[in-house]
Amino acid sequence: MNHPTREDLVAHLYSELPPERQTELTAHLGQCAECQKLVTEWRGTMAELDTWKLPAPQPKRERAPGNVAFAPFLKWAVAACLAIGFGFLGGRLSVPAPDAAALRAALAPELQKISAAVDAKLAEDRQAVTDILKTMQSQRTEDYASLRRAVETLAVNTEDSLETAQRQIVQLASFTEPTKP
C-alpha cells in the first residue's frame, strides 16, 4: 500500500490541501489503520495543546546572599572609574587651546634644520649611488675586454689545433703500407 507523506497528513489535519487531494487522503485514512492511528494521535496532541495554559508568573525573588559580599567592591570600582573619568574630562576642558601661530613660529626653525639635514643626506646618497654605478660600469668594461681576449685566444688556439689536425689527417691519408719482399 502506498502511504501518504507525513507532510501531506499534517496538511490534511489543517485542511490545507486542494479538495481532490483532501478527498483522496480521507478515503485512504478510512482504509489504512496505520495512517488512521497516526492521525488520531496527532489530533489528540493538538487537543492537549489547545487546552494548555501558561503558568502564572512567579514573583521576583531577592538576590542570593552569596552575591552580597561582592557588591561593595563593585560599587567602589564604579565610583573610582567615574572619578577618574570626570578628572580627565575636567583637565582636558580646563586647558586653554594652544596658539597655532605661536607654535608654528617656534617649530619653523627646527623644521628647516631637519629639512636641510634630509636634503644633505639625499645628496650624499645620490652621490654614493652615482659612484657605485660608475664603478660597476668600469668593472663591466674590464670584464668585457677580458672576455673578448679570452674568446680571441680560444679562436686562435682552435684554429691552430684544426690546422695541425688537418695536416695529420692528410699524412694519414697518404700513408701506405710498406710492401713485403
pLDDT tens digits, one per residue of 38-89: 999 999 988 888 888 888 888 877 665 556 667 778 889 999 999 999 999 9
Q: What is the mean pLDDT of residues 94-115?
A: 89
Q: Are the beta carbons of 28 and 4 closer than 8 angstroms?
A: yes
* For residues 84-107, average pLDDT: 88
Query: For residue 144, what pLDDT is reported?
Result: 93
| pLDDT (0 to 100) of residue 126 | 96
- In whole angstroms, give the CA distance from residue 181 to residue 179: 6
Give the pLDDT of residue 128: 96
Instruction: Find out whether 29 and 36 touch, Cβ atoms under 8 Å.
Output: yes
- Tens of pLDDT, residues 9-35: 889 988 899 999 999 999 999 999 999
Mean pLDDT, all residues of the chain:
87
Residue with more model confidence, 181 or 122: 122
What is the model's pLDDT at position 103? 87
Q: What is the pLDDT of residue 19?
A: 92
DSSP label at residue 179: P
In this predicted structure, the answer to whether residue 4 has a pLDDT above a threshold of 80 is yes
Q: Length of the chain in residues, anyone?
A: 181
Most distant CA atoms of the chain, gap in Å: 145
d(CA 119, CA 117): 5
